[in-house]
Amino acid sequence: MSASDRTEATAKNIEGKVQEAIGDFTGDKKTQAEGKAKQVEASAEHAKEDIKDSVEEAIN
């Protein structure tokens, strides 16, 4: 996984956690859901890059 991809996915995950916490604090269900969705998206990006890394290692 390239460093920039990892950084972007980690930033998205943190942003999602903050957004979810704000939604929890304010009681805004939409904000909570958007925060959770960002966290899921970040997890998917990490998984995709991990697979790419595994394939590269298997080839080399």
Task: Report pLDDT digits (tens) over 30-58.
Answer: 999 999 999 999 999 999 989 988 998 89
Residue with tokens 């009681």: 27
Number of domains the chain contains: 1
The pLDDT, as a whole number, for residue 7 is 92
- Choose among 52, 51, 60, 31: nearest CA to 39: 31
Q: Which residue segment(s) compose the domain that 23 sits in?
A: 3-59
Contact call for residues 9 and 49 (beta carbons, < 8 A): yes
CB 42 within 8 A of CB 17: no
